[in-house]
Amino acid sequence: MSNYLYILWIPLLPLATFVVLGLFGRKYFAKTAGIIGTASLLTSTLLSFVAAKQYFFVDGKVNGVYQKIIALKYTWLQFSPNVSIDMGIIVDPISVMMLIVVTSVSLMVHLFSLGYMKGEERFATYYAFLSLFTFSMLGLILSVNIFQVYMFWELVGVSSFLLIGYYFNKPSAVAASKKAFIVTRFADLGFLIGILIIGFYGGTLDIGLLIEKFTSVQSPEFISITTASFLGASMLTWGLVLIFMGGAGKSAMFPLHIWLPDAMEGPTPVSALIHAATMVVAGVYLVARLFPLFSMDEAALTIVTYVGAFSALLAAVIACTQTDIKRVLAYSTMSQIGYMMFALGVSKNGGESGLGFMASMFHLFTHAFFKSLLFLGAGSVIHMVHSNEMKDMGGLRKLMPITHAAFLIACLAIAGIPPFAGFFSKEEILTAAFHENKLIYGVALFTAALTSFYMFRLYFTIFWSKEAAAKTHHHDAHNDHGEGTWTMKLPLLILAACAVGVGFIPFSQFITSDGAALETHVDMVFSIAPVALSIIAILLSASFYKSHNSKSDKAVAFFGGFYKAAYKKFYVDELYLFITKKIVFPFIGQPIAWADRNIVDGFMLLLANTTAKISTAIKGFQSGKVQNYALYFFGGVLALSVLFIYIWK
């Protein structure tokens, strides 16, 4: 067993950057904050690659199976001999893979932000928050203890809140950050209760021990948690579903997805990092981390499957109607995470039927690259056009060739066109779904076609249609900076290379649910249906949006009310507003507020008022006259003497 302790530096470097930039950034590093943040993250990224090389190619494998290695474990709070909160580092295939994803995407975003955020007033603060986020996310993926997951989970929530609300003088950004925080906090309430249930029955919070206890059917813990039931479901189901609720909140699964589109109020590189590539897949990662537990409970996995599939479809439909490019990307993120979720849901633990697990992780990996590429490309476009709305764009392919090429590659990747990265991972997911559940397979196939449609709608609207309008519109003030500095182009190029290349990684050799390599083969016949559907969808969107014509309006008219409902995001926000404003506030909030003001406060006020009244009544004794005090004193002595001499005896 070799030493992986140096992995500790990977999260600690961003933390140090956060502390330094957070405390002294605005005063001393106002100009150099970006360089400092990027340099420290570059070190982390290199360390991650070293760790990955060591783990995957040198000594992670024992007898053909990748081992879970606990590189560091420090007990932070000991509740009882078995129950403790530990801080530690776990090294296993998915955590190492996530290390690569988080550090490299974060590095790209740091680099891109050098140009994108240049001249911002709170430049150093921005980099401090980015570092805080990177630290928390790395801590989350390295967790050995489910409570450690929870703590870092909240930390990523906070850093996401801070970054969404970065432009805090914009009311919409403030509202969005609050919304994101409250919705994910609400979901985390479920997560916490789930942790407590699982921890209570398992008698430990250590992930490794929990998995060990709950995966053997004869263990007393497993028997007690499956026999105890509440409202018709076993406690294991409850615990896992509640944990999944936390994951669904972070990963924007229906019905807790409402915060993600609004979170696009944050700076675009932040959306690329947090709301596309890393934080939102934390829910997927959580389910994958606890997958041995989930695989013991059919009901919980079914919920994961259907929530994932429904979110994928719903988001894809909404994405076809949105006009803000970042919102389209947000819904597409939600849709792709839905893919990862149901891929986990249809999976089994280990062996051939563990294909879904591997597919999900593979898609997480490829998605991180092409989706952050899409967001950074969108960032370049927004930087150029100074608007998020599609109607302000068009014909940009000549003005920004690099962005255009990168965006096209990313769109092809997400549409699942071979040989781009998305093709391989999506193919695995579809295969897994096909073998387990035909309904899910149908939904996934239809969603894949929709994905191609809306992504190319975005692509054609930004880079093609209305040629002349674009030119006259952009030849005025801000044409001078073109595509931005090299720091903005370089990440696009690197990520584009990844979006092309990472699909060829033989992923099933490295990351499977049980650590053993899995033989997969891309079945050419099987691939025909999804690829053909995607190409048809692309051609359809080309005929709609490549040049300005009325076909799209006709389609809108054809769908009528359905289009309007999708444009309004199926009124989920309105439903939430109705529930909170019309039901929760008047019937729960106001009575509680009344009780708080009148009963809780009233009791305290009574105490205070009584004290005040008594004080007023007796304050005359404190007259300031020394002789009065002497009199009281002698009176007291006299009384005590009488007491002790005659009464007490």
Partner 1 sequence: MNEIPLTHILFVSTALFFIGMYGLFTRRNIITMLMSIELMLNSVNINFVAFNKYLFPDKLDGLFFSLFIITIAAAEAAVAIAIIINLYRSHQSIDVDDATEMKF
Q: Which residues bind partner 1 (CB under 8 A)?
A: 619-620, 622-627, 630-631, 634
Q: Which residue, 579 or 638, has its beta carbon nearer to partner 1?
A: 638
Q: How far is 152 from 366, CA to CA, in rounded Å?
A: 24
Q: Which is nearer to partner 1, 439 or 631 (CB)?
A: 631
Shortest Cβ distance from residue 647 to partner 1 (Å)? Answer: 22
Nearest residue (CB) to partner 1, 614 versus 630: 630
Quick count: other Cβ atoms within 10 Å of Cβ 594? Answer: 10
For residue 629 the two structure tokens come to 């005090």
Please, what is the minimum distance in Å from the beta carbon of residue 629 to partner 1?
10
DSSP code, position 519: -
Instruction: State the minimum distance, in angstroms, from the CB of residue 127 to partner 1.
Output: 57
- Taking the alpha carbons of 437, 443, 449, 452 in that order, is the dihedral positive or negative? negative
Q: Which amino acid is at 207?
A: I
User: Among residues 63 and 627, whose Cβ is nearest to partner 1?
Assistant: 627
C-alpha dihedral sign at 385, 389, 395, 401: positive
The residues, ordered by sequence, that sit 6+ positions from 644 with a Cβ below 8 Å of its Cβ are none
Angle at 216 between CA 212 and CA 219, to 5 degrees: 95
Evaluate whether 194 touches 239 at the Cβ level (below 8 Å). yes
Shorter beta-carbon distance to partner 1: residue 525 or 617? 617
CB closer to partner 1 out of 595 and 630: 630
Q: Read off the amino acid at residue 102.
A: V
Q: Whole-angstrom Cα distance, residue 189 to residue 193? A: 6
In whole angstroms, give the CA distance from residue 193 to residue 362.
30
Closer CB to partner 1, 555 or 638, in the complex: 638
Pair 288, 141: CB distance under 8 Å: no
Judged by beta carbon, residue 65 or residue 630, the one nearer partner 1 is 630
Reduced 3-state DSSP string for 335-394 = HHHHHHHHHHHCCCCCCHHHHHHHHHHHHHHHHHHHHHHHHHHHHHHHHHHCCCEHHHCC
Residue closer to partner 1 by CB (options 562, 634) is 634
At 546 the three-state DSSP class reads coil
Q: Smallest distance, Å, CB 611 to partner 1?
A: 15
Identity of the residue, 609 or 623, whose beta carbon is nearer to partner 1 in the bound complex: 623
Q: Which is nearer to partner 1, 218 or 616 (CB)?
A: 616
Instruction: Write down the least CB distance from residue 605 to partner 1, Å.
Output: 23
Alpha-carbon distance of 38 to 278, in angstroms, equals 17
| 220 versus 635: smaller Cβ distance to partner 1 | 635
Q: How far is the CB of 606 from partner 1 (least distance, A)?
A: 23
Cβ-based nearer residue to partner 1, 528 or 608? 608
Shortest Cβ distance from residue 612 to partner 1 (Å)? 13
Q: Of 217 and 617, which has the nearer Cβ to partner 1?
A: 617
Q: Strands 84-91 and 69-78, how do they pair?
A: antiparallel
Q: Rounded to the nearest whole angstrom, what is the least distance from the CB of residue 160 to partner 1 in the complex?
A: 55
Buried residues in 601-622 as b, exposed as e (16+ CB within 10 A) = eeeeeeeeeeeeeeeeeeeeee
In the complex, the smallest distance separating the C-beta of residue 627 from partner 1, rounded to whole angstroms, is: 6
Peptide bond into 419 cis (omega under 30): yes
Q: Return all residues near 8 (Cβ < 8 A) that are at least 6 apart.
A: 71, 72, 89
Alpha-carbon distances of 45 from 105, 251, 260, 520, rounded to whole Å: 9, 24, 27, 29
* 384 neighbors 398 (Cβ within 8 angstroms): no
Q: Give the list of residues 6+ apart from residue 398 with CB closer than 8 angstroms, or none.
A: none
Interatomic CA distance for residues 459 and 453, integer angstroms: 10
| Spatial separation of the C-alpha atoms in residues 250 and 220, rounded to whole Å | 33
Token pair for 524: 């050419």
Give the span between the Cα atoms of 157 and 183, in whole angstroms. 10
- Do 324 and 404 form a contact (C-beta atoms < 8 A)? no
Min. distance of Cβ 640 from partner 1 in angstroms?
16
Give the DSSP letter of residue 67: P
Q: How many helices (H) and strands (E) does the chain have?
A: 29, 6
Least distance in angstroms from the C-beta of 636 to partner 1: 14
Select 23 or 642, whichever has its Cβ closest to partner 1. 642
**Nearest approach, Cβ of 646 to partner 1 (angstroms)?**
18
CB of 609 vs partner 1, minimal distance in Å: 18
Closest contact distance (angstroms) between CB of 623 and partner 1 is 6
